[in-house]
């Protein structure tokens, strides 16, 4: 099965093989070296000179660790325009007073509302950079700039951007960012990586969950260890995935992600399909997942079943309130032209058979050939 979903991504053979090793002691120097290497590459990926911590758990565990660990007397404002933005709001509500700024799914944030909330006294902003549920890239730099003016803490869920698109924590002024191993890093799911600025510790809350207490991770990282037994095979895999990122180079990797997603968008628009998100120039189309409206004349289930059964390709449907209305193609990790062309061709086959679109595969090929 070819996974063209917004994670877990297809994992490179090298990374799968890296997991085929006997366990090692997690308090050993050998494990420490893996942790040191992973932290070095992850700092590049996040664009920070700050600390980087590794949690055995999903991206959501990383987001909660960030919000909970830095929730001391914080009055949060959350920006929400999709499922994962809403999750950030739900998590923040468990730890702090929160003003949840809700916008329509797939529509840009109104940043005037953010300014108002900060003027009224909010001192922490949390949001999703790349909103996977709608295919929207939210304007992180702009948000951080506004937050900075008010001295507010910024926490950014970069779960589906870091490693596939620009994340420049130090340059933009983001204090905490989170990524999941199974997205643009190209590794299997099960690890969250959290990058933390010095300033974030002013907001440290010792009453956060024990397992997600970033101070424990900081303390143990000084000995190149994790506070609790780490998911060793996933660290073997992450190490290999990050070696691939080093070999490819981060700039080239980001350029590749951008090109692959541009090919998907060019194809969709030229085939007569409609993209779901409505960017305004500040908010942009995501470069790691493309959300497309399901055309009249076919259901989401019919489309996805045909792709799975006839071609062995898995794409995603819509979640929650857009269930049945959109389908989503992930262009994350270590895939290339082959996988994208195969996927678009298969979708064309299914939709042209029903006379719902016209062929536009050559448009995609032209982008990919650039």
The residues of the shown chain that bind its own copies, judged by CB under 8 A, are 1, 3, 5, 7-11, 16-17, 19-26, 28, 55-61, 64, 68, 87, 90-91, 94, 180, 182, 188-191, 207, 209-212, 228-234, 237, 314
Beta carbon nearer to its own copies, 243 or 258 = 243
- Closer Cβ to its own copies, 91 or 214, answer by number: 91
* Nearer Cβ to its own copies (16/255): 16
| 84 vs 203 by CB, closer to its own copies | 84
SS3 content of the chain, % helix, strand, coil (to 5): 45, 15, 40
- The radius of gyration computed from the CA coordinates of the chain, to the nearest angstrom, equals 20
SS3 141: helix
**ω into 8 cis (within 30 of 0):** yes
- Could you tell me the smallest distance in angstroms from the CB atom of residue 252 to its own copies? 24
Closest CB to its own copies among 106 and 186?
A: 186
How distant, in Å, are the alpha carbons of 108, 288, 298, 305 from that of 327?
20, 14, 12, 12
Closest distance to its own copies from the beta carbon of 237 (Å): 7
Round to whole Å and give the CA distance between 158 and 137: 10
CA–CA dist 193, 75 (Å, integer)? 24
Paired tokens of 98: 């929160």
What's the first-to-final CA gap in the chain, in angstroms? 28
Q: Which is nearer to its own copies, 144 or 191 (CB)?
A: 191
Least distance from its own copies to the Cβ atom of residue 52, Å:
19
Q: What is the smallest separation between the CB atom of 3 and its own copies, expressed in angstroms?
A: 6
Q: How far is the CB of 21 from its own copies (least distance, A)?
A: 7
- The number of residues making up the chain comes to 370
Give the three-class secondary structure for 327. Answer: strand
Judged by beta carbon, residue 159 or residue 360, the one nearer its own copies is: 159
> How many other CB atoms are found less than 10 A from the CB of residue 110?
13
What phi-psi label fits residue 222: left (phi over 0), alpha (psi between -120 and 50 degrees) or beta? alpha
Integer Cα distance of 320 and 134 in angstroms? 11
Instruction: Decide: 298 and 127 in contact? Cβ < 8 Å.
Output: no
The residues that bridge with 153 in the sheet, in sequence order, are 124
Least distance from its own copies to the Cβ atom of residue 102, Å: 18
If residue 171 lies in a helix (H) or strand (E), which one and from where to where? helix 169-172
Closest approach, Cβ 143 to its own copies, in A, equals 22
Contact 90, 102 (CB under 8 A): no
Closest to its own copies by CB, 89 vs 173, is: 89
CB of 343 to its own copies, least distance (A): 15
Q: Are 74 and 124 in contact (CB under 8 A)?
A: yes
The minimum distance between CB 149 and its own copies, in angstroms, equals 30
State which residue, 166 or 236, has the beta carbon closest to its own copies: 236
């Amino acid at each position: 099965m070819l996974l063209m979903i917004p994670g877990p991504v297809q994992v490179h053979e090298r990374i799968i093989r890296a997991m085929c090793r006997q366990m090692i002691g997690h308090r050993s120097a050998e494990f420490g070296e893996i942790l040191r290497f992973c932290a070095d590459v992850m700092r590049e990926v996040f664009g920070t000179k700050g600390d980087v911590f590794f949690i055995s758990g999903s991206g959501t565990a990383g987001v909660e660790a960030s919000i909970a660990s830095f929730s001391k007397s914080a009055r949060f404002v959350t920006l929400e325009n999709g499922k994962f933005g809403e999750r950030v709001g739900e998590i923040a509500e468990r730890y702090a007073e929160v003003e949840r700024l809700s916008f329509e799914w797939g529509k840009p944030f109104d940043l005037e509302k953010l300014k108002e909330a900060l003027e009224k006294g909010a001192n922490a902003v949390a949001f999703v950079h790349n909103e996977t549920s709608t295919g929207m890239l939210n304007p992180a730099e702009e948000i951080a700039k506004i937050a900075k003016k008010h001295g507010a803490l910024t926490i950014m869920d970069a779960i589906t951007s870091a490693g596939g698109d620009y994340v420049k924590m130090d340059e933009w002024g983001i204090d905490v960012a989170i990524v999941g191993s199974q997205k643009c890093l190209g590794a299997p799911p099960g690890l969250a990586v959290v990058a933390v600025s010095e300033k974030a510790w002013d907001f440290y809350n010792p009453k956060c969950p024990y397992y997600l207490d970033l101070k424990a991770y900081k303390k143990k990282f000084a000995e190149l260890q994790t506070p609790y037994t780490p998911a060793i095979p996933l660290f073997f895999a992450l190490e290999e995935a990050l070696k691939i990122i080093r070999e490819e180079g981060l700039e080239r990797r980001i350029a590749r992600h951008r090109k692959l997603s541009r090919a998907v968008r060019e194809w969709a628009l030229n085939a007569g399909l409609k993209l779901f998100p409505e960017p305004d120039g500040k908010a942009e189309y995501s470069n790691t997942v493309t959300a497309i409206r399901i055309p009249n004349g076919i259901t989401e289930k019919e489309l996805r079943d045909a792709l799975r059964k006839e071609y062995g390709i898995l794409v995603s449907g819509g979640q929650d309130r857009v269930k049945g209305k959109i389908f989503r193609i992930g262009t994350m990790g270590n895939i290339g032209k082959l996988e994208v062309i195969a996927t678009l061709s298969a979708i064309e086959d299914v939709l042209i058979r029903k006379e719902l679109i016209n062929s536009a595969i050559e448009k995609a090929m032209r982008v990919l050939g650039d």
